[in-house]
Amino acid sequence: METLFDRRRELLVRAVQAAHERSFWSAFSEVPRTYGEEMPAAAKDAFAELLDRPFDLDQPASEGWVGSEISPFGRALGIAYPRTGIDLLIENAEVAGQGWKAASVEQRTGIALEILVRLNSLSFVMAHAVEQTTGQAFAMAFQAGGPHAQDRGLEAVAYAFEEMARIPGSVTWEKPAGRQAIRLDKEFHVVPRGIGLVIGCATFPTWNSYPALFADLVAGNPVIVKPHPAVVLPLALTVKVGREVLAEQGFDPDVLQIAVDSVDAPVAPSLALHPAVALVDFTGSSEFGSWLRENVRGKPIFTEETGVNTIVIESADSFEAMCQNIAFSLSLYSGQMCTSPQCIFIPEGGISTDDGHKSFAEVAAGIATAIDTLLSEPQRAAVVCGAIQNEATKDRIARARRLGRIVRDSAPLAGFEGGRTATPLILAVDATDEAAYLEERFGPISFVIACRDAADAISRAADAAKAKGGITAALYSTDDTLIDAAALKYVDAGVPLSVNLTGGIYVNQSAAFSDYHVTGANPAGNACLTDAAFVTSRFRVVCVRRPAVA
């Protein structure tokens, strides 16, 4: 009989190869029309079916039902999820973990791959779920919530599989010792660590959770997914698919569970502290990240936290294209990406460009105008900006207005009366106003910062990443010598650098199988989602050795 591993082997082989090469590859199409003509309508219906009723999931509602998701576009989703108690979650995970641990790496990998393929076929429904919880525009919700997230999950599977596959199942160890050799048969057992807790975020619920979720599964750890209470549906759909595949393959579906909670009764701390939880993955605020580090001892903790992303503009060989590119990066999902820029450092004396010298004010105005142009057409503005996930972000925008001179004010999008929307706010400040710009201001809030000169700008950008954390950085310059020297400073600060991006590629974008997302080398997170260190401590190896049969 063909196993799932056999069926999906090509996908795995190609993914492992891609993770080595790191040139462009993607397993799951980001082009909606490749999913078939009927898909959009069918998915719309399927999504509508999910609303205003209990979510169909075979987990016990031992502590009742919970769910209060409200779309940032206006409507309450009306979905109730079973709330399974912490002790029961742990107990079920431990029971299910016995069978999962006993499965081979190939079995587990085959199942992980199958889950990803099924999630892929569900990408349109997922797009609705992500759109209506995170506030992403549909196109982005489709790509980031669907194929891009699946690619990231696959990447983690590839890394974890490769690290486990390199361990031989058994060997005969033969040591020369005088006349007679000493011969031992050794079996190497890959053993999981225990229950993996994956704590999701409110903006990229799938993209940021899949790497940990799939790495844990493949390494043999049962997983408890703890979604953000405001953004449950995308991970509930994920867990449902996972449980179905597990059950079909004869495993206890409790290998993968969801812990839905509410804002007033959070369960993440208790789960993270539980002795049976061996691995904690978290995407979210540095505040909870610090809490985890302070309180959760002796377990690997993998985090993606907050940071301050920067752009330095030293000079430009295409001023207009640069302004357009930056305008898009600032507007995309209303600045609610962990990769969105916040600080734009510009020499106070201005910069040289293909369009002549531009003063500091002209550069700032160039970006502001490019945003106005980008968002001038309401439908396009909606596709770029989406909605604001959390009311707190709206409040933050309001408070931020006092932090500097307003270069471009934020405003709601046209045509979204029921929804929570906001275009980018840009504030001009001086480089000395660090209290204003060096704190993460999550949302469509950015600063143009007048610096002494280019060297000062670059130093400040690199130092910001070092001190406050940084997930992305961008630099515009026509001077290759300056770029090379600056690059070393960014490398030193542990922040990925994008240079002179124009056209259809943006600093916000992190490509699967190529970019290392979160370096782990600055305070924006202690872990990369996509390197060997992210997977290698999720399992251990235990050897059983005995005299070889002659």
Token pair in block for residue 310: 């920067």
CB closer to its own copies out of 426 and 471: 471
Shortest distance, CB of residue 137 to its own copies, whole angstroms? 19
Token pair in block for residue 169: 């199942």
CB closer to its own copies out of 13 and 167: 167
Q: Binding marks (x or -) toward its own copies, 298..327, rule CB under 8 A?
A: x-----------------------------
Shortest distance, CB of residue 40 to its own copies, whole angstroms? 21
Residue 415 and residue 378: Cα distance in Å, rounded? 7
Residue 498 and residue 311: Cα distance in Å, rounded? 9
CB closer to its own copies out of 425 and 528: 528
Other C-beta atoms lying within 10 Å of the C-beta of residue 356: 8
Nearest CA-CA partner of 261 in 67, 44, 78: 67
| Residue 411 touches its own copies, criterion: CB under 8 A | no
| Residue 526 touches its own copies, criterion: CB under 8 A | yes
| Residue 118 touches its own copies, criterion: CB under 8 A | no
| Residue 533 touches its own copies, criterion: CB under 8 A | yes
| Residue 356 touches its own copies, criterion: CB under 8 A | no
| Residue 498 touches its own copies, criterion: CB under 8 A | yes
| 147: helix, strand or coil | helix
CA angle 247, 250, 255 (to 5 degrees): 55
Please count the residues of the chain. Answer: 550
228: enclosing H helix or E strand: none
Helix axes 378-385, 319-331, angle to 10 degrees: 70
CB closer to its own copies out of 147 and 494: 494
| 277: helix, strand or coil | strand
CB closer to its own copies out of 219 and 426: 219
Shortest distance, CB of residue 519 to its own copies, whole angstroms? 5
Residue 451 and residue 462: Cα distance in Å, rounded? 14
- HEC string of 353-400 equals ECCEEECHHHHHHHHHHHHHHHCCCHHHHHHHHCCCCCHHHHHHHHHH
CB closer to its own copies out of 88 and 321: 321
Nearest CA-CA partner of 272 in 243, 298, 234, 238: 298
| Maximum pairwise Cα distance, the chain | 88
CB closer to its own copies out of 287 and 417: 287
Other C-beta atoms lying within 10 Å of the C-beta of residue 494: 18
Question: For its own copies, which residue of 92, 209, 393, 519 counts as binding (CB under 8 A)?
Answer: 519
Question: For its own copies, which residue of 186, 430, 456, 478 counts as binding (CB under 8 A)?
Answer: 186
| Residue 531 touches its own copies, criterion: CB under 8 A | yes
Shortest distance, CB of residue 19 to its own copies, whole angstroms? 9
Shortest distance, CB of residue 184 to its own copies, whole angstroms? 7
Residue 424 and residue 48: Cα distance in Å, rounded? 32
| Residue 41 touches its own copies, criterion: CB under 8 A | no
| Residue 546 touches its own copies, criterion: CB under 8 A | yes
Question: For its own copies, which residue of 236, 494, 512, 524 counts as binding (CB under 8 A)?
Answer: 494
| Residue 479 touches its own copies, criterion: CB under 8 A | no
Q: Which residues pair with 474 in a beta bridge?
A: 311, 498
Shortest distance, CB of residue 46 to its own copies, whole angstroms? 30
Exposure class string for 273-299: b at 16+ Cβ within 10 A, else e: ebebbbbbbbbbebebbeebeeebeeb
Nearest CA-CA partner of 88 in 64, 66, 56, 63: 63
| Residue 191 touches its own copies, criterion: CB under 8 A | yes
How many angstroms from the chain centroid is the CA of residue 179? 59
Q: Are 386 and 334 in contact (CB under 8 A)?
A: yes
Residue 215 and residue 235: Cα distance in Å, rounded? 16
Other C-beta atoms lying within 10 Å of the C-beta of residue 311: 29
CB closer to its own copies out of 64 and 503: 503
Shortest distance, CB of residue 472 to its own copies, whole angstroms? 10
417: enclosing H helix or E strand: none
CB closer to its own copies out of 196 and 496: 496
Question: Of the listed pieces 36-44, 79-87, 398-406, 541-549, which binds its own copies according to CB under 8 A?
Answer: 541-549
CB closer to its own copies out of 57 and 465: 465
| Residue 532 touches its own copies, criterion: CB under 8 A | yes
CB closer to its own copies out of 177 and 435: 177
| Residue 64 touches its own copies, criterion: CB under 8 A | no
Shortest distance, CB of residue 444 to its own copies, whole angstroms? 25
Shortest distance, CB of residue 195 to its own copies, whole angstroms? 14
Residue 132 and residue 73: Cα distance in Å, rounded? 7
Question: For its own copies, which residue of 168, 179, 379, 481 counts as binding (CB under 8 A)?
Answer: 168
192: enclosing H helix or E strand: strand 182-192
| Residue 528 touches its own copies, criterion: CB under 8 A | yes
Token pair in block for residue 478: 């026509």
| Residue 515 touches its own copies, criterion: CB under 8 A | yes
Shortest distance, CB of residue 104 to its own copies, whole angstroms? 14
CB closer to its own copies out of 28 and 447: 28
Tell me the site size for its own copies, rule CB under 8 A: 68
Instruction: List contacts with its own copies (CB under 8 A).
Output: 20-24, 101, 163, 166-168, 171-177, 182, 184, 186-189, 191, 193, 293-294, 297-298, 483, 487, 490-492, 494-505, 511, 514-516, 519-521, 526, 528, 531-533, 536-537, 540-547
